[in-house]
Structures are given as C-alpha cells and as structure tokens.
Structure 1
Amino acid sequence: MSETIQSRRSFFKGTMAAAVAAAVPASAEAQKKGAAPSSAKKPNIILYLADQFRADFVGANGRNASTRTPNIDALASRGKNFTHAVTNQPVCAPARSVLLTSRYATETGVWHNGLVLDKSLPTLASELRKAGYTSNLIGKWHLALGNPKAGGDPGPVKAEDRGGFLDLWEGANALEHTTHPYEGTIWDQNNQPISFKDQYRVDFLTDRAERFLRQKQEKPFFLFISQLEPHQQNDMQRPVAPKGAAARFANSTAPEDLRALPGTWQDQLPDYYGCIEAIDSSVGRIRRILEEENLADNTIFVFFSDHGCHFMTRNQEYKRSTHNSSIRVPLIIDGPGFHGTQQIPELVGLVDLAPTLMEAAGIPAPSTWKGHSFLPLVNDFEARQKWPNQQLIQISESMTGRAIRTPDWTYCVADLSGSTKEPAATTYHEYQFYDQRADPHELVNLAGRKEYRAKADELREQLKKLLAAAGETEPEIVPAKLYP
C-alpha cells in the first residue's frame, strides 16, 4: 500500500475513533458544537435528492442572482453547507450506486445506466435497518432492471432489487419513463400502481412524503425522497417547469460557464429555473411538516443532487463530463451533529456521505466502504487541515475517462478510441486540464501545455493512486502532445 493511501487511512481511523468516543449523551453544548447524538435516541435521516441540480443554483452559494431558493437557503443558514461537494460519477444510476454503497461505480455493478446494483454489497439502507431503523423510499430508484411494462419502460422493482429499502416503497426504477410532469405511475411495496394526474410531479411525491411523515413512527426512520426535477423529461428532451413558472424566468441569469458555449441553455434555462423553484417549495414543505410533527430536532436532513447539468455545452447531453457544471453538487445538512451555520469548503464526494451519516447516527460503517466520514470537518479546524482534499471522478457513457479533482486543479484522462463498452481502459490519454483558481468556468484547456507539464505529471501520479485505492488496475496514461 502506498504511503499516501496508508497515511490517509490512518488519519481517518484516528479522527473517526475520536469522534465516536465523543458521542456521549448529547447536551445542548455538544449539539451546538456539532457532536454526534446520543446512541440512546437515534436520529431520523432524510435524504432529499433533486436530480441534476447545479450547485450554483442554490442561492446560499452566492453565484446566481436569479435563483429563488429561500427554503434551501434557510436550511444552509441553520446547518452545514458543503460548498465544494462533488459526485464521483456524474450520471444518474452510477452516482446513486456510489451514494448508497460508499463504493466506486466500477465496484457496485452500476458503472453506467441500466445495470443492476450488486446485491452482495451492504447499503446505507440495509445497514440502518440492521441498527433498528426502517428504510423507506419515495420516487426514483434507477438501480434495477425492474419488470418491463408494455413498450419496455422499466417500472415496478422487485423487493430483492431495492437495495435494502424494505419498509415503505413508493417508487419507479426510472421515473422519467413511467411519468410525465403532470401524470404518471409509481408502485408500492407490493408493486401495486399509485397513479397521479393533473398534479405537478414534485408536488405529488411531496404529498407521498407528507403521508409518511404524518404517520406515527415506532422506530427511527431513514427516508429517501428521490425527485426527478430539475432533470429533463427524457422523451421531451427538456426540463419542464410547473405551468406558468418558466415565464417568470424568461430573462434570468445565464451562468458564466454556459454563456460562451453553444448548447440548449438558451431555450431551457427558464424551465430549469422553474423546476428549481418547485424543488425549493417542496423542501420548505417537508421542513414545515417535520416541525409540526415534532420531528425536526431529531432528524438529519440532507439536501443534495446526484450530478449537475451543463445543457449540452460540453458533450452531446447534460452531464457525463468532469466540468464543475457536471460534477459539482449541492450538499447541505442540518440536524443532530450538523447544527449551526457553517460553510465547509473542503472537497467531499458522494462516496463519503453514507459513512458520514452512519457516524452521525453512532453506528459503525462496514469496513468494505471506500468513502470516509466528513463529520470531523464540522467545527474541527485540525481535521480540516488534514483532510486529503482530492476526489476521484469516473466517467462512462459519453467516454471512458478518469479524473482527479483538487481544490486547484481538474486533471482528466480519456480512452481516445471512443469505446464505452467496458468499465475501464488499460490506456488513457491526457484530455482535459483546468486551473480552478484562474479559470473556475473551465474555458481554457491546459492539457498538453509545456509550462504545466510538471503539475500534470504530479496529478497523473496522484490519479493512479486513487485508481488503485478504488480497486482499479493501474493504467498507462499517455501525456498530451498537442493542445487546443
């Protein structure tokens, strides 16, 4: 094992052990400092996923004057805003597999869309159930083949393919295939249909979440609310806002990374903004329900996304690239262990979220998980100083590629043959290289420029170490000879 990887693991072993030891019965002062809650009363956990939601469309992140997200901003004002969170695989199904298993997409069985999650892997849902929680899902799943309906749309999901969500289940494998913005069908735990019509999809799923939260809960619960918006409706190839909403955003701000590039943003941004507004209203509604049911003080609430959206400016669709618009995701957490306004700029990945929540609940994470709890970053300056601050990004479908993201750099390599039929390649070529300090909108590709050769060599070696830690065979990485 390399010295870098060994030291990283030693650091996390020590910091996690210290944090767990500190999880004594929670006093008000301990909660104020962000300590883990008492094991005598496990916190409820809600994951609220808004699909394809750009990090810079959260008003609290201060980058977009046209965003209307007062409820998400209020969440950030109460809790922890991880301002540089990234997805480790910027496409729907692989990102979800990483989130729930704390393993990389090449290890989960879901390295591109349409594959089935490896049933042998422990998931956040299954581990929390072992610890006495109920595990419940409402909305999009995307980690099973399902039972195809007429026409081939994947719909109902067999119980054994639900990744440990074995209590309340009201979902569809690919919500974008079984619903439209104002009508469609999901299925309950017995695969009986639950249909809606003449109601906006975000509001329908929020209704189902309210129905669950209003019921008396005998055990601590884990609830995964998995919205489709602001993701595009696949058969319409565009996001669809609530009726009348897009008109309110007709002349809204276009993010700087989009303005210089051709794509679909010119036509689709108003609807995207409208979808964002609908998601924000839903978040506010869920938070009000938690207050009314006296659940807020003992519920960890996580707002996040699986990936961002670049509106076909970087490739021929909406994500699947290593650019900030694709990999940066909102990640805001409030509740026990996460109280108190704080912006945390360290790089964290979706691979780290499950072990973080397990530690916050006082439950040991499986030793096979590859992510690391970032709970020590909360109000702990020393932990923040030692944080590795690098994340591995795997790319599939648009290309077979790999990248390392650090606070200052994005270094990406790709299989230039164009093949996307295998999870990984044996040979990659340097493809994209961005300076995050001088070029945060990633408009100047530095790959192949001789004045950056030493930094590229350094990042190449760091990337190889991350690939080894993820269980990949060390590839050959060919230096770029030309630059654009």
Structure 2
Amino acid sequence: MKKNDREQPNVIVFFTDQQRWDTTGVHGNPLGLTPTFDRMAREGTHLYHTFTCQPVCGPARSCLQTGMYATTTGCFKNAIPLPRERRTLAHYFKQAGYATGYIGKWHLSEKEPVPAEDRGGYEYWLAANLLEFSSDAYSTVLYDNDGKEVKLPGYRVDAQTDAAIRYIDRNQTHPFFLFLSYLEPHHQNHTDNYPAPDGYEEMYTDRWTPPDLKALGGTAPQHLGGYYGMVKRLDEALGRLMDALKSLDLTRKTIVLFTSDHGCHFKTRNGEYKRSAHESSIRIPAAIYGPGFMQGGQVRQLVSLLDIPPTLLDAAGIPVPSDMQGRSVLPLVRREPVEWPEEVLVQISESQVGRAIRTGRWKYGVTAPDLDGWSESHAESYVEELLYDLQADPYELTNLAGWDSYRSVADELQRKLISRMAEAGEPVPEIVPAQSRPAGKRRVSIEELRLKL
C-alpha cells in the first residue's frame, strides 16, 4: 500500500434509474420513502436543484462517465456505444492509483455481455449492458470480467447491494472508486410495470400523488405504488451500504454520491416516461456525503449531471481535465465566491430533436418538428415549444409559449439558450418564435421583467 493511500478518499456512486426528485423526504414527499437519503442530504451536502442534461438512459450515462455533453461524445441516443477513445471517470481514478469497479446497468455498448474494450476502463466488472432485459425483479443476471453469466440471489436491488458490499470489503485497504448502477425504479420493459419487492407495492398504492400527476393522470394510478416501493427498497439498500462502511471504519474515508439519470412523468408529457423538458423528466435527487461534504448544507444553485464528474475528481484531489464541460461544485459547497451559470442546458433526443434551458424561475424549450430524434443529433432550425413560469406554475400546467405578454421573456431566454448551445459545441441555430397568442388580462410587469431570469 502506498504511503498516501489512506489519504485518498474512496468514492462510491450510488446511481438509480428514472427516479424523480420528489420521491425524497427532503423534497416534500410525505411517505417516508428515503430516510437514509434524507440523512445524507441533511448531514452532508444536498444539491437541491439538480438536473439531468439528457433525459434518457444511455446518453445520460455517457455524460456522467465522461463529463461531456451527449452531442460531444456522439452518444445522443440509446444504442450508441461509448467511443473507446473517450476517457471516463474510471480512467482518471485508475491513473490516480485507485482500484475501479462497476456493478449493475451499463447501457453504453451494443453487445451483451459487454466486451472488455467497451467497459470504459473499469477493472472489476459485474454488470449487464441492458439490465432490464438480462434480468427481472427476482432473477438478477449480470456478467463478470470473463463475460460469464452470474445469477445473483434475492430481489435485484439487494443482489446488487450484496455484490457492492463484497467489493468494498475486498478493497478496504486501498482507495477504490465504485460505480453502483441500479435499474430501479425504472420500469420492467417486457411487462411495462414497476415490480417492487413482494408486499411493497400494496403499502404505497393510492397514498400520495405529486400535483403534476394528479392533474395530468397518465399511468400514475397504475404504477405509483410499485414505483414508490422500488424507491423504498433502494433507500434501504443505501442504508445497508452506509452500515457496511461504518462497520469497516470507512465512513470518514469515503465519499458517497447519490443521484439518478433522469426522472419519470408516467406518460403525461408524451407516450412514455421521460424524453421531455419537464421537471418530472429532468429534475433528479442528488446528495454527497463524506470528506469535504459534511455539513455542506443545501447548495441552491442549479447543478447539472454534467457537473458531477469534475466534482468527484476535484474532491479526490485529481486534476479535472480541461475538456470536461461541467464544473466542480466544491466551491459552492465551501461557499467560496465563484461565478456559476444561472441556467442548465438540456438536450433531448429520440422523442424529438429538442433543447431547453431551466433557470431559477423559467423553463424554455424548442424542438425541430420535421426531424427524427432517433436519427438526428441536432438541428439548424428549431421552433419554440414551451415556456413555463415555475414561480407561478411549478407543476408546468400552463404553457406560455407564444403568449404576447411574455415575448420579452422568451426573447431573453432564447438568447441564453443559443449561448449555452454554442458553449456545448453545437452550431448556432435559428429559433422560430411560437405562433403569437393573445394573453387576455395576463401581463408581465416592468418589475418582473427587471428580475433576473
């Protein structure tokens, strides 16, 4: 063991799939689903406003592994493998002397099992490219370093957690970076349902419905019970992981990040569960616990999933590569004076070729109506699709796009969106205003226009 091994913090990413931010108690969910996450957020650092930069599985994962936008890596939709020349978190941590491990869902290859050259540089491997197809709730099948099938006992969340605890126990004498990627609370594709552990769905059916789902319906009455049950089991797994760290005297030596790839709108915004610019698709829970983050409180600035990779490297004392397109949040945690973007950029594919920004108050989105989001990564021309005033309408029930009285707001947001797209390396587009609509008595006051967007 190197002399400075124990000075380097271990890093664990606890990564869920399709989890809304408002499943957590610290975001107002009244069902007590996430006591462990809530404690992490209170005692560590709560990234209160965190958003995905691409609300679909594969592209979001490419962003989190590389710190680059999906249009930069080329992984703008599912089923595009991560280019082998792209350096990932695993490469940087390994170069810094860390053992690296990946357990769970990968979704950045074309093959199952994932060939060694497509594993993003991770040394230890117990994963499946498409866990939703290789396994079921009580039939967990992953693949090891040799590409051999490994069937793990127990409910899928528990099976993966057991594997993670075994990995931590084996690697406790030297620094490690472990990426633990769950499928839950994502739906089971072949049945289009949310299979919670036995008995859990019944506990949460018809208990509490977020206001956007209450207003818009979708599949929430059918699916929320199972979805919440999966979230509950994930939080219990997080508790088991934290217990393992405590028992091995690793709590003060280990950084634990909890977040998700995107949210879930339960078929209220389009024909499936994500791939839209709405809060239900793009807002995700995020908290960091461990050295450098204890008593960090709430970080209220807007944080992108793209900011997570540079944050983890920075927290481990590893230089952040200049080609990463996100920013470390450590200066915000330390309350240091720093310029921070006032908006996050979201790229949307598959359901559409879309772009959006989310500011502290506004949501502004555009789409290329004549392009196929499965075949085109970007457009030269977009049309305004949505505008929401999140202060007056937090559940995004009244689309203000085209309203005459909000034209000045839309114009300013359009400029911000174009600027952020250019920063991301995209061509500067044309944006066609939405068709004009009279607003009746609804007006934006001079004072409101002077407020920061």
2:11 is the alignment partner of 1:45: yes
- Gaps (5+ residues) in structure 2? 439-453
Instruction: Work out whether residues 6 and 174 of structure 2, in 8 Å CA contact, stay in contact via their aligned partners in 1.
Output: no
Q: Which residue of 2 aligns with 1:408?
A: 361
Which of the residues 446, 466, 475 maps onto 2:420?
Answer: 466
Provide the residue aligned with 2:120 in structure 1: 163
Match of 2:102 in 1: 137
TM-score by length of 2: 0.93
2:195 to 240, 246, 257: 240
Aligned to 1:46, the other structure's residue is in SS state strand
Q: Give the aligned residue type for 1:188.
A: D
Q: CA separation in 2, counterparts of 1:465 and 1:196? A: 48
- Secondary structure of 2:107's counterpart equals coil
Q: How does 1:416-455 map to 2 (within 5 A)?
A: 416-420=369-373, 421-455=375-409
Match of 1:78 in 2: 43
From 126, 131, 134, the equivalent of 1:175 is: 131
Q: What's the CA shift for 1:134?
A: 1.2
Q: Are 1:370 and 2:325 matched, yes or no? A: yes
CA deviations 1:403-452 (Å, max 9, x no partner) are 11111111000011252211001110000111111111000101000111
* Structure 2 counterpart of 1:56, one-letter code: D
Seen in structure 2, the aligned counterparts of structure 1 residues 376 and 103 have a Cα distance that, compared at 3 Å, is same
Distance 1:139 1:381 in 2: 36
Instruction: Decide whether the 8 Å contact of 1:39 with 1:361 is kept in 2.
Output: no
CA drift of 1:265 comes to 0.4
Give the total of aligned pairs: 434
Does 1:476 pair with 2:430? Answer: yes
Across the aligned residues of Structure 1 and Structure 2, the Cα RMSD in angstroms comes to 1.4
Larger displacement relative to structure 2 (469-478 or 211-220): 211-220
Q: Deviations over 1:374-395 (max 9, x none)?
A: 1100131533xx3222111000
Q: Judging changes above 3 Å, is the alpha-carbon distance between structure 1 residues 43 and 397 closer, same or farther for their aligned structure 2 residues? A: same
Other-structure match for 2:268:
313
- Separation of aligned partners in 2, 1:434 and 1:125: 38
Specify the alignment match of 2:447 in structure 1.
none
Task: Give SS of 1:463's match.
Answer: helix
**Per-residue deviation, 1:262:** 3.1
- AA partner of residue 416 (structure 1): P
The code of the aligned residue for 2:152 comes to: F
Seen in structure 2, the aligned counterparts of structure 1 residues 390 and 145 have a Cα distance that, compared at 3 Å, is same
Gaps of 5+ in 1: 1-37, 147-154
SS of equivalent to 1:303: strand
Residue in structure 1 matched with residue 233 of structure 2 by the alignment = 278
Alignment of structure 1 residues 19-98 onto 2, 5 Å: 41-61=7-27, 63-98=28-63
Aligned residue number for residue 446 of structure 2: none
The sequence identity of aligned pairs, in percent, is 46
| Superimposed CA distance per residue, residues 297-337 of structure 1 (whole angstroms, 9 cap, x where no aligned partner) | 01000000000000000000001111111100111001111
Give the counterpart letter for 1:57 in structure 2: T
User: Could you say if the C-alpha distance between residues 223 and 422 of structure 1 is closer, same or farther in structure 2, counting changes exceeding 3 Å?
Assistant: same
Do the aligned partners of residues 101 and 483 (structure 1) sit closer, same or farther apart at CA in structure 2, a change above 3 Å counting?
Answer: farther
Query: In structure 2, what is the equivalent of residue 393 of structure 1?
Result: 346
State how 1:194-273 maps to structure 2 within 5 Å. 194-197=150-153, 199-273=154-228
- Alignment match, 2:308: 353
CA distance in 2, matches of 1:39, 1:289: 20
Confirm or deny: 8 A CA contact 1:89 1:394 kept in the other structure: yes
Displacement of 1:348 in angstroms is: 0.5
Residue 105 of structure 1 is aligned with which of 65, 70, 73? 70
| CA apart distance, 1:481 | 1.1
Q: Is the 8 A contact 2:346 2:356 kept in 1?
A: yes
Could you tell me how far 1:251 is from its partner in structure 2?
2.3
> For residues 143 and 483 of structure 1, what CA distance do their matches in structure 2 show?
43
Query: How far apart in 1 are the matches of 2:68 and 2:144?
Result: 28
> Kindly tell me: are residues 334 and 123 of structure 1, through their superposed partners in 2, closer, same or farther at Cα, counting changes over 3 Å?
same
CA contact (8 A) 1:57 1:67 kept: no
Aligned-partner SS, 1:246: helix
Q: Deviations over 1:343-393 (max 9, x none)?
A: 11110101111111111111111111111111100131533xx32221110
Secondary structure at 1:84's aligned position in 2?
strand
Q: Name the residue aligned to 2:249.
A: 294
| Cα distance in 1 between the residues matched to 2:171 and 2:202 | 41
Code of the aligned partner of 1:305: S
CA contact (8 A) 1:182 1:196 kept: no
> In structure 1, what residue type is equivalent to 2:350?
E
Q: Distance in 1 between matches of 2:366 and 2:325?
A: 22
Question: CA contact under 8 A between 1:348 and 1:389: conserved in structure 2?
Answer: no
Moved over 3 A (4+): none
State whether residues 50 and 229 of structure 1, in contact with CA within 8 Å, keep that contact through their aligned partners in structure 2. yes
Counterpart check, 1:191 vs 2:147: yes
Q: Distance in 2 between matches of 1:41 and 1:263?
A: 50
> Secondary structure at 1:257's aligned position in 2?
helix
User: 2:49, 2:300 within 8 Å by CA — same for their partners in 1?
Assistant: yes
